[in-house]
Amino acid sequence: MDLHEGEVVLKEVRKHWFIMAVRIVGSFFAAILPPVVYYIGAGTFRFHAEGEISSLILLAYWIWLLIVWLSFFVWWTDYYLDAWHITNERIIDIEQIGLFHREINSVPFNRIQDITTEVSGVLETFLRFGDIHVQTAGERRTVIIKNADDPESVKKFIFNQMVEMNLVVSESSVGRDGVSGPSAK
């Protein structure tokens, strides 16, 4: 990611840790599932693998663990690289989907028209995560980060940056009651 001269990253916004926690738990269950199924199956159908066959089953399990391990890190990469980098000039929206899709959008503060947050659901409300929508005057009208950590504070942070740049007078003058936000300078 190339930054302009004098541009610094002030804040990074990622998906909430809960999203990653779900994947960690999922990976853990995926890892222990085969032995659980084997022992339940062995008990139910009274079969018993011995010698080469038991080694082959064990080898298949090691390979399964390696697949789970690799998948977990692919997810983690997706989680870590899929982020918003808020600089002193703009929002850099990096959309990472798996390993082979990466999209970078740059939203200068003076093109932002409105910022809305959406927190819906019990977990989202208690853990404070949700979607942030930034509406722009650019070609790509809206950039979104889903399940972002503490969307309200991110919204405030962006507004504060815009106030510092004299693009808006105060946060209260923007986006109230769904009305469109700060005008471009």
Partner 1 sequence: MPYDVGKTVAGILSPELITRGVVWAFLAFVAIYTIFSAILLYHWRRFSMRAHAFGVAEMVYLTGSVVLFAGAIMTLLATMV
**By CB under 8 A, which span of 22-30, 71-79, 151-159, 164-172 interacts with partner 1?**
71-79
* 126 contributes a contact to partner 1 by CB under 8 A: no
The string of DSSP codes covering 63-118 is: HHHHHHHHHHHHHHHHHHHSEEEEESSEEEEEEEETTTEEEEEEEEGGGEEEEEEE
Closest CA to 12 of 89, 68, 91: 91
Stretch (H or E) spanning 123: helix 122-127
**142-149 sheet: strands from edge to edge:** 112-118, 129-136, 142-149
* 102 contributes a contact to partner 1 by CB under 8 A: yes
* 76 contributes a contact to partner 1 by CB under 8 A: yes
Q: What binding mask, one character per residue, do residues 133-152 give for partner 1 by CB under 8 A, x or -?
A: --------------------
* 73 contributes a contact to partner 1 by CB under 8 A: yes
CB of 1 to partner 1, least distance (A): 7
Using CB under 8 A, list all residues that contact partner 1.
Answer: 1, 9, 12, 45-56, 58-59, 62-63, 65-66, 69-70, 73-74, 76-77, 80-81, 85, 94, 96, 99, 102
